[in-house]
Amino acid sequence: MSWIANSPLTYLQQFCVNVIKCGPIPKHIAIIMDGNRRYATKAKVEKAEGHTRGFDKLAEALQWCLELGIPEVTVYAFSIENFKRSQSEVDTLMKLATEKFQKLLDEREKIMAEGVCIRIIGNMSLLSQELRKLIAEAVLMTKDNNRAFLNVAFAYTARDEMVNTARKVVEGVEKGAIEADDVDEDLISRCLYTGDRQDPDIIVRTSGEVRFSDYLLWQISNSYICFTEVLWPEFCIWHLLACVFKYQRCYNDLKKNNVKIIKNERVKSFVEGLEQEKLMQLKSYI
């Protein structure tokens, strides 16, 4: 399956989407796609098939988000902790990612026509050269698209992200690019892998697990949390609509995410420098 599904909604689904769209729509949803292996056991298929169906579900979920007018989605596709799984499962997940990024490049017209910008958040130095190259090509190819944003957390944990951020900030101070007094919440936010993106309004975790597993710990401080029992490959549009509906019900009580604007010129040029470095790094992978 491609990265964005194209299956028509039923009349009832379309009607409910239209009703939900009358209320406030989140600008950004983060998803922990959990339960692929339990689904595989339940459906009596191989684990690898569970993950493949997990990817197919991601493509469907992206279509539903676009239909709902949610412009940004961040998904947890591979945690650094997942490297501790059996070598054969790690290989399976890496092979799946390699195939899917290759497919994305093969179908470039499609993703460019959809206007989707794909970004990777994570520690790319932990990935194979082949996968790094494919990811870099996909990210660079789509970097100017702005109709929708898909952030794929791959080889990611929030703690690794924070360590990486602290290193960048310390280096900036040591080199004199910024001063110690410049370090504040806005600067830290901009130095995270998520950079200038807005924080998620909702975080969804499937499969009944009630924890964050080191996912976007800085970014979800004001997000509406939605834990749902369904296993990820069985997630359907009704689950998504239920999450958005619950978010709408407490919308007035939620602290709104502000756009990250940096006014200090010194900090601005430091952050721009980091963005350039990221770009150069990606180019070096090709």
Residue numbers of the site for ligand FPP (CB under 6 A)? 33-38, 51, 54-55, 58, 77, 82, 96-97, 100, 152, 207
Quick one: 75 or 274, whose CB is closer to ligand FPP?
Answer: 75
Q: In Å, how far from its chain's centre is CA 131?
A: 17
The nearest distance, CB 38 to ligand FPP, in angstroms, is: 3
Whole-angstrom Cα distance, residue 275 to residue 191?
9
Q: In Å, how far from its chain's centre is CA 137?
A: 18
Quick one: 171 or 209, whose CB is closer to Mg ion?
Answer: 209
State the residue number with the nearest CB to ligand FPP.
54
**Half-sphere exposure for 197 (CA within 13 Å, toward CB):** 30
Which among ligand FPP, Mg ion, none contacts residue 82 (Cβ within 5 to 8 A by kind)? ligand FPP
CB 32 within 8 A of CB 205: yes
- Interface ranges with Mg ion (CB under 5 A): 34
Quick one: 35 or 122, whose CB is closer to ligand FPP?
Answer: 35
Which among ligand FPP, Mg ion, none contacts residue 36 (Cβ within 5 to 8 A by kind)? ligand FPP
Residues in Cβ contact with 48 at an 8 Å cutoff, skipping those fewer than 6 apart: 92, 96
Neighbours of 214 (CB within 10 A): 17
The nearest distance, CB 112 to ligand FPP, in angstroms, is: 18
Which among Mg ion, ligand FPP, none contacts residue 122 (Cβ within 5 to 8 A by kind)? none
Quick one: 68 or 120, whose CB is closer to ligand FPP?
Answer: 120
CB 45 within 8 A of CB 101: no
Which residue type is seen at 213? S
Which among ligand FPP, Mg ion, none contacts residue 58 (Cβ within 5 to 8 A by kind)? ligand FPP
Quick one: 96 or 173, whose CB is closer to ligand FPP?
Answer: 96
Quick one: 120 or 267, whose CB is closer to ligand FPP?
Answer: 120
10 DSSP assignment: P
- E strands present in 161-207: 202-205
The nearest distance, CB 122 to ligand FPP, in angstroms, is: 11
Question: Which CA distances in Å does 160 have to 125, 266, 276?
Answer: 12, 26, 21
The nearest distance, CB 31 to ligand FPP, in angstroms, is: 9
CB 210 within 8 A of CB 162: no
CB 186 within 8 A of CB 243: no
State the residue number with the nearest CB to Mg ion.
34
The nearest distance, CB 144 to Mg ion, in angstroms, is: 35
- E strands present in the chain: 28-32, 72-79, 116-121, 148-156, 202-205, 224-227
Residue 194 φ/ψ, nearest 5 degrees: -75, -10
The nearest distance, CB 222 to ligand FPP, in angstroms, is: 25
The nearest distance, CB 80 to Mg ion, in angstroms, is: 14
Quick one: 77 or 191, whose CB is closer to ligand FPP?
Answer: 77
Which among Mg ion, ligand FPP, none contacts residue 55 (Cβ within 5 to 8 A by kind)? ligand FPP
